[in-house]
């Protein structure tokens, strides 16, 4: 399919973080290709591994999240195809890497765990039926996550104030004291 997944262009808190990113949902993309029993998956791969990614033949062959460091790709966010229909009422974005419990789970279920490095990553949506893959989108452009600032580069001391700021603050404090004294004198 000609659709290319992408990070939403609108302003969005946490659109790209150190371990997650948001994607626009592929609404209306699978119309005419999907049956009621089909599912849409998201394939996530390191950008340099997307060319070697092979679509699984069945749900049992879906590469799990825990193999990302070695396999360089995994699949997640299994969703009924109906959730991506033109009439589906839902939030307009998906969050990739949002399930922090994945790291500690020993299960084989598809997991949407935090991404382990800044990437870059590429993603595509894959429509799968009982007999295997039925349709797929193109790969996204590379998505680079934010990098955390090393704590050693943060200056723990507050910035020093210039003498101008100190003089202005002193004058304002003095004027406030004079005004308060004048008000109390007028009332008393």
Q: pLDDT tens digit string along 139-177?
A: 999 999 988 677 777 666 666 666 777 788 888 888 888
Q: Which two tokens stand for residue 116?
A: 């382990």
What does DSSP assign to residue 176? Answer: H
pLDDT over threshold 60, residue 131: yes
Q: Which residue has the higher pLDDT, 158 or 26?
A: 26
Bridge-based pairing state of the strands 121-129 and 93-96: unpaired
The pLDDT, as a whole number, for residue 130 is 84
The pLDDT, as a whole number, for residue 4 is 93
Torsion of the alpha carbons at 148, 154, 160 and 161, rounded to the nearest 10: 10
pLDDT over threshold 90, residue 122: yes
pLDDT over threshold 60, residue 119: yes
157 class by beta-carbon count within 10 Å (0-12 exposed, 13-18 middle, 19+ buried)? exposed
Closest alpha carbon to 125 in 8, 10, 23, 52: 23
How do residues 1-24 score in pLDDT, each as one tens digit?
899 999 988 888 888 998 999 999
Residue 138's pLDDT band, with cuts at 50, 70 and 90, is very high
Kind plus residue range of the DSSP H or E element containing 78: strand 73-80
The pLDDT, as a whole number, for residue 160 is 63
pLDDT over threshold 60, residue 28: yes
Span 47-66, mean pLDDT? 88
pLDDT over threshold 90, residue 109: no
pLDDT over threshold 60, residue 41: yes
Task: Give whichever of 28-37, 76-85, 97-106 has the largest mean pLDDT.
Answer: 76-85
pLDDT > 70 in the chain, percent: 90
């Amino acid at each position: 399919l000609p659709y290319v997944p992408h990070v939403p262009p609108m302003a969005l808190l946490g659109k790209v973080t150190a371990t997650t990113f948001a994607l626009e949902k592929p609404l209306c993309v699978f119309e005419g290709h999907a049956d009621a029993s089909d599912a849409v998956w998201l394939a996530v791969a390191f950008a340099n591994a997307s060319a070697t990614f092979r679509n699984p033949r069945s749900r049992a062959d879906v590469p799990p999240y825990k193999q990302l460091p070695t396999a360089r790709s995994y699949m997640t966010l299994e969703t009924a195809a109906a959730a991506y229909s033109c009439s589906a009422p839902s939030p307009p974005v998906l969050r990739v890497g949002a399930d922090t419990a994945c790291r500690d789970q020993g299960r084989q279920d598809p997991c949407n765990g935090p991404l382990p490095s800044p990437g870059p990553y590429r993603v595509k949506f894959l429509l799968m039926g009982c007999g295997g893959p039925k349709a797929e989108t193109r790969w996204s452009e590379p998505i680079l996550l934010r990098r955390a600032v090393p704590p050693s580069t943060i200056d723990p001391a507050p910035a020093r104030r210039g003498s101008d700021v100190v003089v202005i603050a002193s004058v304002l404090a003095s004027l406030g004291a004079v005004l308060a004294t004048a008000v109390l004198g007028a009332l008393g």
